[in-house]
Amino acid sequence: MIRVAPALERFEAARAGALSGQSVREVRAAARRLRVWLQLSGITALVDDLRWLCRETSRLRDLELFAGVLTNSAALAEAERRAFAALNSRRLDGVIVALRALPPLRRSRARTRLQGWEKSLRSNTLKTDDDVHALRKHVRRVRYAYEWLGEDSKELRRVQNVLGALCDLAALSRLLTS
């Protein structure tokens, strides 16, 4: 059985950290790990809430990432307002209450789902920036699933980092344009 409680504690600590001025990066990563746990469980309901949190904090994350090259205090203030509203929301309180009430994930169920994800990962083709972004997300999901199952995910982490660097360049291009 795979319990969500330890990851939920890390998520709550990251949430508190982000609200006290630390980077939103940790809370976004913690939210994605929880999302993968839900997806491995076959639960769809709270996935939207965690996806919403990542969406609401994405602008702030981009601005944090390129803080050395970009300075736009108005954009930063707006991104912080949006991110903090999400981090302070009752919706997020609800996610935590709901996750605490869920039963542990069965390892056999997780393995079956992971096999399906691995199969579709192998069939990816890369033609556009969007394909790279989609592949990065797919790799990250499989990597987090490995982590939940206690399996070695170093190789996937390396692939994810390379794809992440490509996606960060695309994000910088978007920010410069806007």
Partner 1 sequence: MVSVTLIRHAIAEDGADDAARPLSKEGRRRFRASVETLERIGVRFTKVLHSPKRRALETAELLRSICDGDFEVTPLLTQKPSEELLALLDVHELAVVGHEPHLSSLLAWLVTGKTALAGNFELKKGAVARLEGDPEPGGMQLRALWAPRVLR
**Contacting positions for partner 1 (CB under 8 A):** 43-49, 52, 90-91, 93-95, 97-98, 100-103
Supply the minimum distance, in Å, between the C-beta of residue 93 and partner 1. Answer: 6
Q: How far is the CB of 72 from partner 1 (least distance, A)?
A: 30
Q: Which residues pair with 2 in a beta bridge?
A: 105
Both tokens of residue 12? Answer: 């709550």
Q: How many CB atoms lie within 10 A of CB 145?
A: 24
Q: Which is nearer to partner 1, 46 or 63 (CB)?
A: 46
Which residue lies nearer to partner 1 by CB, 18 or 99?
99
For partner 1, the closer CB: 100 or 174: 100
Burial of 64 per CB tally in 10 Å (0-12, 13-18, 19+): middle
How far from each other are the two terminal CA atoms of the chain, in whole angstroms?
A: 46
* 120 touches 135 (CB < 8 A): no
Shortest distance in whole angstroms from residue 166 CB to partner 1: 29
**CB of 151 vs partner 1, minimal distance in Å:** 28
Are residues 145 and 105 in contact, defined by beta-carbon separation less than 8 angstroms? no
CA distance 108 to 150: 13
Nearest CB to partner 1, comparing residues 42 and 131:
42
Q: In this complex, which beta carbon is closest to partner 1, that of residue 95 or of residue 145? A: 95
Shortest spacing between CB 59 and partner 1, in angstroms: 19
Q: Which residue has the tokens 């746990």?
A: 37
Residue 131 makes CB contacts below 8 A (sequence gap 6+) with 124, 125
